[in-house]
């Protein structure tokens, strides 16, 4: 059932476990996340990126998530969140359509602009009684990886400064903070790490719940240590994409010469594989039976 995100995250922070924030852009991914949450009796956050919204249409994907959450998922707490809203019009539209939380990501801008844009989003979100996430420091993606490899940028320079975090949260009044502590968007097993010392300093500096982005590719022990150190939300996208693709290739390969043409049947193993991935993640994060 859709509930205010405050209810989900406050309980996770107090209970010292993390809630998974899983990205979706269609019916199958959403079904997989909701079914896994019900199976594990776990709260979940379901999030859409700007590009997912462009792909699926805001009202459509919002309807898919809310309808599934309030029917199939009625026994577990579920919140809808905008992930990496870099453009104010999309952030505003998500607030108005009924999201439970929005991420105003102005982390690529200069500090003063990041403060101004994050504060503006927080004010608008709070008027509707919802939460706002902002980001301090940069979390790299594929393009950033190239710059990292060529030495054009240094990971340490991109990480969240604990002292600056105090000023940032005080000025913006955001409810959750996305931090940069060494993770990367995508699957870079072995390369991405969590700077646990920095994480502990940030936890000691600010009271707001912290969000770890770029979760895919991290080892179980790294997740567990980060949660022990105080992370309350962890974003996962690529792991579900990989599960989807692997199952699809196998299923299509084995059925290439059969009469199977029904897209629902073609996609069923992929949906099941994503559900299994979410179940595995929920168990690692410790949110099983926390509904
Ligand atoms: O952090 C970004 C998310 O993985 C969403 O990516 O823009 O391809 O939907 P996307
Ligand atoms: P991954 O794709 O690395 O799991 O990152 C997801 C994310 O941070 C979404 O905001
Ligand atoms: Zn992210």
CB atoms within 5 A of ion ligand 3 belong to 213, 235
Q: Which pLDDT score, from 0 to 100, does residue 144 have?
A: 80
The per-residue pLDDT for range 24-36, each reduced to its tens digit, is 999 999 999 999 9
Q: What's the CATH code of the domain at 74?
A: 3.20.20.70
- Name the active-site residue from 83, 93, 175, 237: 83
- The pLDDT assigned to 148 comes to 83
In this prediction, residue 191 carries a pLDDT of 79
> Ligand 1, atom 8: nearest CA belongs to which residue?
51
Ligand 2, atom 3, residue with closest C-alpha = 214
Atom 5, ligand 1: residue with shortest CA distance:
49
* 186 pocket-lining for ligand 2 (C-beta < 6 Å): yes
pLDDT at position 129, please?
98
* Known catalytic residue at 110: no
pLDDT for residue 206: 98
pLDDT of residue 59: 98
Contacts of residue 17, Cβ cutoff 8 Å, sequence gap at least 6: 227, 285, 286, 287, 290
Q: Is 23 in the pocket of ligand 2 (CB under 6 A)?
A: yes
Yes or no: say if 180 and 159 are a contact pair by the CB < 8 Å rule: yes
Q: Is residue 37 part of a domain?
A: yes
pLDDT at residue 240, rounded to an integer:
98
In a domain, 87, yes or no: yes
Q: Going by CA atoms, what residue is nearest to atom 6 of ligand 1?
A: 49
The residues facing 231 across adjacent strands are: 210
Asked whether 284 and 219 are in contact (CB, 8 A), the reply is no
User: What count of other Cβ atoms lies within 10 Å of the Cβ of residue 86?
Assistant: 17
Tell me, yes or no, whether 290 lies in a domain: no
Cβ(192) – ligand 2 distance below 6 Å: no
Domain count, the chain: 1
Is the minimum distance from the CB of 103 to ligand 2 under 6 angstroms? no
Which ligand is nearest the CA of 223, by number?
2
Ramachandran angles phi, psi of 90, nearest 5°? -70, -40
> Looking at the domain assignment, is residue 67 inside a domain?
yes
Q: What is the pLDDT of residue 188?
A: 84
Domain assignment present for 262: yes
Average pLDDT for the chain: 97
Tokens found for residue 154: 């240094």
Interior angle at CA 50, CA 111 and CA 232, nearest 5: 65
- Which residue stretches of the chain have pLDDT < 50? none
Dist. CA 223 → ligand 3 center (Å): 16
- Which string of DSSP letters, residue by residue, matches 133-169? EEEES--B-HHHHHHHHTTSS-HHHHSPPHHHHHHHH
Range of the domain at 228: 5-285
The response to whether residue 236 sits with its C-beta less than 6 Å from ligand 2 reads yes
In a domain, 291, yes or no: no
Query: Which pLDDT score, from 0 to 100, does residue 89 have?
Result: 98
């Amino acid at each position: 059932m859709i509930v205010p995100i405050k209810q989900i995250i406050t309980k996770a922070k107090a209970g010292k476990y993390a809630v998974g924030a899983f990205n979706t852009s269609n019916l199958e991914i959403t079904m997989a996340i909701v079914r896994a949450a019900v199976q594990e009796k776990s709260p979940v956050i379901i999030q859409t990126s700007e590009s997912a919204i462009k792909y699926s249409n805001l009202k459509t994907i919002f309807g898919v998530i809310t309808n599934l959450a309030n029917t199939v998922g009625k026994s577990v707490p579920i919140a809808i969140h905008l992930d990496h809203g870099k453009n104010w019009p999309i952030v505003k539209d998500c607030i108005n359509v009924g999201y439970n939380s929005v991420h105003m990501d102005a982390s690529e801008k200069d500090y003063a602009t990041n403060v101004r844009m994050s504060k503006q989003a927080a004010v608008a979100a709070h008027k509707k009684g919802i939460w706002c996430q902002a980001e301090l420091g940069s979390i790299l993606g594929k393009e950033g990886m190239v710059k990292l490899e060529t030495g054009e940028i240094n990971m340490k320079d991109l990480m969240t400064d604990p002292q600056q975090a105090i000023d940032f949260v005080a000025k913006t009044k955001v409810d959750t903070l996305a931090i940069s502590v060494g993770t990367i968007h995508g699957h870079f097993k072995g390369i991405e790490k969590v700077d646990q010392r920095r994480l502990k300093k940030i936890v000691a500096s600010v009271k707001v719940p912290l969000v770890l982005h770029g979760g895919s590719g991290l080892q179980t022990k790294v997740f567990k240590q980060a949660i022990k150190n105080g992370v309350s939300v962890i974003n996962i996208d690529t792991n579900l994409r990989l599960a989807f693709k692997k199952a699809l290739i196998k299923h299509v390969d084995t059925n290439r010469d059969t009469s199977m043409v029904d897209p629902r049947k073609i996609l069923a193993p992929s949906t099941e594989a994503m559900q299994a991935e979410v179940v595995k993640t929920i168990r690692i994060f410790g949110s099983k039976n926390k509904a």
